[in-house]
């Protein structure tokens, strides 16, 4: 269902009168607080689970993630939420209906569906088109767990807006020091470097992905801000308070997809619009986004340890059934069949209807509803969802086990294992660490660049296929596929098991430990410490440090090096330019484009490459001769004919770039135009290098050019005299043309 609200016109159409603005201000004040909830993270980090279910519906301590977000938004005073669904949109809408979020008084939830959004940018553009956002709004994704009060941040945002209409966004951040060794936060996200003005809290720099050893702040920043705090100890909560301009910015920049990598960077780099982004740091409240399996683990533990109060298992908020809190953070639903000899350790949640067999031990884990856990089972640090059957004697460590999974007796799950929906693991099978098992086969890698671009490159899976398209396709095939591949699948997860073990894509395997639910093994930590130590050494030795005074003395030589670099660039530029001109000319030939249009195109090329008109004439001539060359020419004379036709046809084009005689006389330039010499030189160069065929007919072509008034005699004579001092090899063509120049000389003398 695509819900549309009859949106009022925003801002009242920009009337300039004082009355109109007053009205709009008043209107802004009356607007109920709105929120956009993105129920799609546009990432693939939770695969293979997300092939069957949208991430926002995955249970977090037995409650779907989206319910945490919605419950928080409701309690924070948001009155209208637009839930943007893309992948598995139907499931999301179904959930919202079943859990009656649609039927809340004073809290309206509207679903907006789309099938083809590939990023947050598309989502926001769609919402912008629907014209439903009327004032400041909260932008969150559906995997956010928070208990912060929005009032303070919102107040700050509105206050800033009143003073400066360019302050369009306030980002919520919180204190969280990334580990200097693993360089990731406790949520498993990459280290983040931010520069913030300590007085105004304006965000000046944001970098979450870079291998560079230094943070580079633009020099102009310091002239505007006398003091800047560079942070490596803050975490982005992905809760943004935005003004409507944010949506229109997305609409204006159709290539923005990622909220941080594109939008934020674009705003920080671009000073044309002058938009500013500010930060709001929360001190005592909780806010975190579930970005990967590690943050799933971390946030779950935070919930159990009640950092997210009131969003905890024993408080009835939306969508959870009540559980009783025992000592040491043990939550137990009312109906749990627990054997007397079973031990349930601290910080564990057991859902209702679950039975636990004798001598089983569970600690630091979450067990969902209706699970059957056999005897002598040990579960540590696991997330067991609903209706899971675990037979006797299994050992599970730091694993995620989805709904309906059957784990036969004696199975061992090594740390970091993810078992997707309805997987069956055969008897006595040992599932290796960090493996992901699903009923679906791993999608074959497709090089759809879009996905590659927007998917997180550090995620375990880079399989690029559209998140939204795939599941439906798979569903149709699944029945056949399952029966067909049953045998093969069985072998992958032990006898009697069903499921495919996904291979992690090449290269990213080593990074698997980063985002897994399992804690980082000590051996790994040591290894990283070693490498980071060594890295430090390398960096120091490299001397690719901020150059300090010691390098200053070399500034002269450094400058000359710079100059060389520039030179290379120019050459490269020219080559590109030449190629483009050639392509343009070719197209002109094929499509019979008018000269004026070609001139227009070449001019714009010239401007974009910042070259002189002389370069244009050279490049154009080059492409003409090339095209003449490409036409069939059995003998040299045919080649001359070819060239003649091309040149006659496009004479006007060349002449445009070679100022006419009258002008030249008018300007009293005694020496001939350098542009024309450029053409001759270009031709000479061609004969020597790229198009040797011309070398035999050099003089003929030269004559042709002279006859067609493209090149004047002064130019030819000047060229000849210029070449006089050159090497013998260079003089090859001058000699060829000797007769011609002689004739020209005589002719000009006669004229005089």
Partner 1 sequence: MDFQVVVLAGGFSKTLVPLVSKEVPKALLPVANRPVLSYVLELLEQNNLKDLIVVVESESAALLIGGWISSAYVDRLHVEVAAVPEEIGTAGALRAIDHHLTASDILVVSGDLVCDVPPGVVAATHRRHDAVVTAMLCSNPVSGSTESGSSGVKDKAKKRYNIIGLDPTKQFLLHVAAGVEVEKDVRVQKSILRAVGQMDIRADLMDAHMYAFKRSVLQEVLNQKEAFQSLRRDVLPYLVRSQLRSELLLNGVQSEENGNDKDASQNPKIVLSQLLANASTPSFHELQHALGPNGFSLSPRKTHKCCVYIASNSNYCVRLNTIQAFSDINRDVIGDASHLSGYSFSAQNNIIDPSAVLGSKTTVGPQCMLGEGSQMGDKCSVKKSVIGRHCRIGSNVKIVNSIVMNHVTIGDGCSIQGSVVCSNVQLLERVVLKDCQVGAGFVVIAGSEHKGESLAKKEK
Q: Does 542 sit near partner 1 (CB under 8 A)?
A: no
Count of CA atoms in the C-beta half-sphere (13 A) of 262: 19
In the structure encoding, which two tokens stand for residue 639, read together? Answer: 């080649």
State in angstroms the smallest separation of the CB of 457 from partner 1. 19
* Residue 704: other Cβ atoms inside 10 A: 18
Peptide bond into 48 cis (omega under 30): yes
Q: Which is nearer to partner 1, 192 or 701 (CB)?
A: 192
Among 209, 473, 509, 530, binds partner 1 (CB under 8 A): 530
Among 20, 217, 251, 629, binds partner 1 (CB under 8 A): 217
Q: Which is nearer to partner 1, 163 or 212 (CB)?
A: 212
Among 16, 507, 549, 725, binds partner 1 (CB under 8 A): 549
Phi-psi region of 541 (alpha: psi -120 to 50; beta: other; left: phi over 0): alpha
What burial class does residue 142 get, using C-beta atoms within 10 Å of its C-beta: 0-12 exposed, 13-18 middle, 19+ buried? buried
* Residue 570: other Cβ atoms inside 10 A: 13
End-to-end CA distance of the chain: 88
Secondary structure of residue 89 in the 3-state scheme: helix
Q: Which is nearer to partner 1, 102 or 193 (CB)?
A: 193
Q: Which is nearer to partner 1, 301 or 372 (CB)?
A: 301
Q: Does 547 sit near partner 1 (CB under 8 A)?
A: yes
Among 115, 179, 341, 630, binds partner 1 (CB under 8 A): 179
Query: Helical H runs in 671-737?
Result: 674-688, 698-707, 713-724, 732-736
Among 1, 103, 222, 747, binds partner 1 (CB under 8 A): 222
Q: How far apart are CA 633 and CA 639, in angstroms?
A: 5
Q: Which is nearer to partner 1, 265 or 731 (CB)?
A: 265
Binding mask 329-368 for partner 1 (x = CB under 8 A): ----------------------------------------
State in angstroms the smallest separation of the CB of 527 from partner 1. 10
State in angstroms the smallest separation of the CB of 545 from partner 1. 6
State in angstroms the smallest separation of the CB of 31 from partner 1. 37
User: To which H or E segment does residue 572 belong?
Assistant: helix 555-591
State in angstroms the smallest separation of the CB of 220 from partner 1. 9
The DSSP symbol for 240 reads E
Q: Which is nearer to partner 1, 524 or 626 (CB)?
A: 524
Q: Which is nearer to partner 1, 517 or 744 (CB)?
A: 517
State in angstroms the smallest separation of the CB of 17 from partner 1. 44
Among 14, 180, 337, 346, binds partner 1 (CB under 8 A): 180
Q: Which is nearer to partner 1, 548 or 635 (CB)?
A: 548
3-state secondary structure 108-146: EEEEEECCCCCCHHHHHHHHHHHCCCCCCEEEEECCEEE
Q: How far apart are CA 632 and CA 628, in angstroms?
A: 8
Q: Which residues pair with 437 in a beta bridge?
A: 419, 501
Q: Does 191 sit near partner 1 (CB under 8 A)?
A: yes
Q: Does 561 sit near partner 1 (CB under 8 A)?
A: no
Q: Does 531 sit near partner 1 (CB under 8 A)?
A: no
State in angstroms the smallest separation of the CB of 560 from partner 1. 16
Which span (91-99, 153-161, 211-219, 641-649) binds partner 1, by CB under 8 A? Answer: 211-219
Q: Does 667 sit near partner 1 (CB under 8 A)?
A: no
Beta strand 400-401 with 418-419 is parallel
The DSSP symbol for 263 reads I
Q: How far apart are CA 682 and CA 700, in angstroms?
A: 16
Which span (6-14, 392-400, 455-463, 525-533) binds partner 1, by CB under 8 A? Answer: 525-533
Secondary structure of residue 487 in the 3-state scheme: helix
Q: How far apart are CA 240 and CA 154, in angstroms?
A: 10
Q: If you write DSSP's letter for every residue of 157-205 in order, what string do you get?
A: HHHHHHH-TTEEEEEEEEE-PPPTTT-B-TTSPBP-EEEE-TTT-BEEE
Q: Does 178 sit near partner 1 (CB under 8 A)?
A: yes
The DSSP symbol for 9 reads P
Q: How far apart are CA 143 and CA 65, in angstroms?
A: 5
Answer positive or negative: Cα dihedral of 506, 510, 512, 518.
positive
State in angstroms the smallest separation of the CB of 283 from partner 1. 15
Q: Does 195 sit near partner 1 (CB under 8 A)?
A: yes
Residues 362-381 binding partner 1 (CB under 8 A) are none
Q: Does 519 sit near partner 1 (CB under 8 A)?
A: yes
Residues 228-287 binding partner 1 (CB under 8 A) are 228-233
Among 98, 216, 560, 561, binds partner 1 (CB under 8 A): 216
Q: How far apart are CA 320 and CA 327, in angstroms?
A: 21
State in angstroms the smallest separation of the CB of 717 from partner 1. 48
Binding mask 125-164 for partner 1 (x = CB under 8 A): ----------------------------------------
Residues 562-621 binding partner 1 (CB under 8 A) are none
Closest CA to 287 of 234, 239, 231: 239
Interface residue list for partner 1 (CB under 8 A):
176-181, 183, 186, 191, 193, 195, 198, 212-219, 221-223, 226-233, 519-520, 522, 525-526, 529-530, 533, 536-537, 539-540, 545-550, 552-553, 555
């Amino acid at each position: 269902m695509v819900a549309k609200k009859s949106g009022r016109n925003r801002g009242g159409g920009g009337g300039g009168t004082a009355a109109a603005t007053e009205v709009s201000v008043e209107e802004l004040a009356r607007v109920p607080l709105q929120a956009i909830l993105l129920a799609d993270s546009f990432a693939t980090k939770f695969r293979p689970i997300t092939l069957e279910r949208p991430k926002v519906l995955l249970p977090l301590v037995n409650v779907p993630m989206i319910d945490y977000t919605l419950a928080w938004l409701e309690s924070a005073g948001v009155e209208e939420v637009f839930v943007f669904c893309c992948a598995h949109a139907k499931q999301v809408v179904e959930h919202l209906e079943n859990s009656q979020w649609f039927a809340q008084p004073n809290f309206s939830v509207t679903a907006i569906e789309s099938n083809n959004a590939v990023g947050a940018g598309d989502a926001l553009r769609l919402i912008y088109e629907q014209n439903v956002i009327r004032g400041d709004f909260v932008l969150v994704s559906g995997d956010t767990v928070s208990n912060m009060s929005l009032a303070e941040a919102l107040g700050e945002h509105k206050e800033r807006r009143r003073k400066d209409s360019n302050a369009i966004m306030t980002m919520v951040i919180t204190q969280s020091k990334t580990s200097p060794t693993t360089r990731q936060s406790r949520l498993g996200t990459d280290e983040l470097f931010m520069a913030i003005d300590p007085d105004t809290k304006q965000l000046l720099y944001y970098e979450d992905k870079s291998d560079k050893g230094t943070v580079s702040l633009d020099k102009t920043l310091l002239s505007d801000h006398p003091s800047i705090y560079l942070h490596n100890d803050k975490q982005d909560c992905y809760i943004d308070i935005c003004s409507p301009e944010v949506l229109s910015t997305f609409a204006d920049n159709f290539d923005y997809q990622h909220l941080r990598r594109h939008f934020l960077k674009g705003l920080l780099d671009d000073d044309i619009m002058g938009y500013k982004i500010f930060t709001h740091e929360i001190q005592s409240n909780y806010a975190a986004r579930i970005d990967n399996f590690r943050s799933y683990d971390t946030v779950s533990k935070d919930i159990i340890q009640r950092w997210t109060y009131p969003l905890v298992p024993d408080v009835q908020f939306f969508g959870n059934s009540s559980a009783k809190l025992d000592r040491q953070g043990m939550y137990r639903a009312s109906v749990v069949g627990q054997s007397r000899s079973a031990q349930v350790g601290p910080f564990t949640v057991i859902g209702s209807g679950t039975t636990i067999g004798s001598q089983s031990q569970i600690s630091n884990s979450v067990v969902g509803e209706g699970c059957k856990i056999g005897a002598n089972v040990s579960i540590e640090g696991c997330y067991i969802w609903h209706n899971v059957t675990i037979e006797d004697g299994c050992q599970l460590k730091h694993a995620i086990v989805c709904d309906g999974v059957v784990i036969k007796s004696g199975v061992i799950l090594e740390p970091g294992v993810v078992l997707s929906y309805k997987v069956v693991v055969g008897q006595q099978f040992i599932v290796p660490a960090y493996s992901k098992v699903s009923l679906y086969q791993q999608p074959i890698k497709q090089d759809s660049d879009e996905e590659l671009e927007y998917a997180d490159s550090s995620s375990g899976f880079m399989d690029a296929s559209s998140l939204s398209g795939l599941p439906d396709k798979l569903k149709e095939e699944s029945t056949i596929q399952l029966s067909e591949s049953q045998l093969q699948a069985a072998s992958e997860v032990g006898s009697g098991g069903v499921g495919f073990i996904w291979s992690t894509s090449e290269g990213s395997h080593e990074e698997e430990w980063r985002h897994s639910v399992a804690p980082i093994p000590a051996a790994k930590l040591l290894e990283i410490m070693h490498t980071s130590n060594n890295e430090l050494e390398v960096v120091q030795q490299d001397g690719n440090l901020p150059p300090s005074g010691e390098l200053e003395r070399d500034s002269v030589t450094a400058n000359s090096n710079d100059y060389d670099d520039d030179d290379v660039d120019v050459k490269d530029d020219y080559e590109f330019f030449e190629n483009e001109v050639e392509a343009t000319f070719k197209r002109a030939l094929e499509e019979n484009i008018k000269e004026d249009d070609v001139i227009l195109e070449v001019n714009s090329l010239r401007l974009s490459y910042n070259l002189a008109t002389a370069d244009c004439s050279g490049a154009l001539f080059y492409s003409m001769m090339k095209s003449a060359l490409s036409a069939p020419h059995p003998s040299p004379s045919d080649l001359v004919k070819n060239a003649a036709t091309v040149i006659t046809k496009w004479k006007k084009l060349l002449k445009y770039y070679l100022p006419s005689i009258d002008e030249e006389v008018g300007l009293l330039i005694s020496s001939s135009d350098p542009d024309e010499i450029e053409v001759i030189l270009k031709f000479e160069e061609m004969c020597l290098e790229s198009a040797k065929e011309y070398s035999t007919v050099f003089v003929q072509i030269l004559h042709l050019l002279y006859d067609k008034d493209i090149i004047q005699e002064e130019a030819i004579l000047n060229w000849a005299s210029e070449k006089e001092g050159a090497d013998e090899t260079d003089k090859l063509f001058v000699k060829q043309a000797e007769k011609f120049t002689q004739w020209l000389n005589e002719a000009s003398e006669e004229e005089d």
